[in-house]
Structure 1
């Protein structure tokens, strides 16, 4: 917890973040317009993607408890991990979920191709995909499937990434609980992601940033 003097002036970086947010919005809108002009009969939809690491180290949150009683949660710190990658359309709430055991550029290239195929990129529509600057996302040496165009957020701006808002939903089944094995965690998280894929309104309520562009060339 950081204590702030109530009489202190607002910090300047907040203004910088606001300006970067406006810049991201314009950048996305410009790219959508370019892709819409290239293929006037093909809808252009903007997705966002992010990775989330979960493991056998417990996920804890504050909970309500009777006055005078301290809530407890069982836990056993172990450092085995798995990853969840989400691709989300904030405009529609559609999501594609993938659970895996590591991250790398070769893996991300294959994952991107899988997402493009399942989302029918280049067939039904063009997908503009917003990513952060993780090393394995970089365009250098990365083959990008036809029908997908990448856009990168400014550094250190997770608040501009709609997919970032989904991790609290993914964590819910394991919060303040002890999970015995990584296989058990894999099963719990996979079931949760499957369920969330059918909860588009819930996803939109989280990831549907007001400035996110709607589908272009939509009939």
Structure 2
């Protein structure tokens, strides 16, 4: 929930691809007892020949959060919501590429539905049937926003020599900083990015590994 009281919903799924044609993005008004709101549906294509999942994330992020034609709540989307959504998209695209059942497929259409919830009970569990078995569970962005313990953050391992890889929190290259930090689950991020994230959420943005909490 942001400072204005908005709760956000997002869902990443695979769509039907006809040739190489990417469908136009559109807005959708949903009125359902468990899901109500005005949502933006954005599309991007990932090619196994050039499997750049981070580029797909960057394309969808621009469409969802930075185009003036559509800002869901009429104001900038909170940073935590953007990060969670970015990582959800990355996890989903990577799972499609890794799935052995997709070995003979070359291209995939990624669709993200995003927007502020309206008229929903805060205690209601929001569920949507996914169209593919590899889809990640839908998420309430409020889940997991409890900071990690200060000692756990301080104990994050410093690593270097990561070359041209990118940090999935900011989408920036590791070469821009001399050191990065590795979480116990093995995922690596810019030091400043993961520290700021862990000060707000104790969960790894990629695998949801839970860091220790202050008691």
TM-score of the superposition, structure 1-length normalised?
Answer: 0.28
Quick one: higher RCO (CA 8 Å, sep 6+), 1 or 2?
1
TM-score of the superposition, structure 2-length normalised?
Answer: 0.28
Higher helix residue share: 1
Higher strand residue share: 2
Q: Which has more radius of gyration?
A: 1
